[in-house]
């Protein structure tokens, strides 16, 4: 995973544990065949794709209360 993507994603999701969970769930979905929500001219890993989706606001989270 690219460090710059991680730092930028942490500005969108404050809790690193939540970010890890979001990325791991999305990576699982991508590996099962779901299409990426962001386009890339270069081949990037599913982890980086998930981080870019979070950075670009394509994926968000809600906390259960």
Q: Where are the domains of the chain?
A: 3-55
Per-residue confidence at 64, pLDDT binned at 50, 70, 90?
A: confident
**What's the pLDDT tens digit per position in 6-42?**
999 999 999 999 999 999 999 999 999 999 999 988 8
Q: Which of 26, 15, 18 is nearest to 59 (CA)?
A: 26
Q: Are 30 and 50 in contact (CB under 8 A)?
A: yes
What predicted TM-score, i.e. pTM, was given to this entire model? Answer: 0.91
Residue 22: CB atoms within 10 A of its CB come to 21
CA atoms of 49 and 64, how far apart (whole Å): 26
């Amino acid at each position: 995973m690219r460090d710059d993507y991680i730092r930028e994603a942490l500005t969108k999701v404050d809790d690193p544990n939540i970010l890890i969970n979001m990325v791991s769930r999305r990576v699982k979905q991508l590996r099962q065949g779901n299409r990426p929500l962001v386009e890339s001219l270069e081949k990037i890993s599913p982890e980086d794709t998930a981080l870019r989706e979070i950075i670009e606001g394509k994926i968000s989270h809600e906390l259960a209360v």
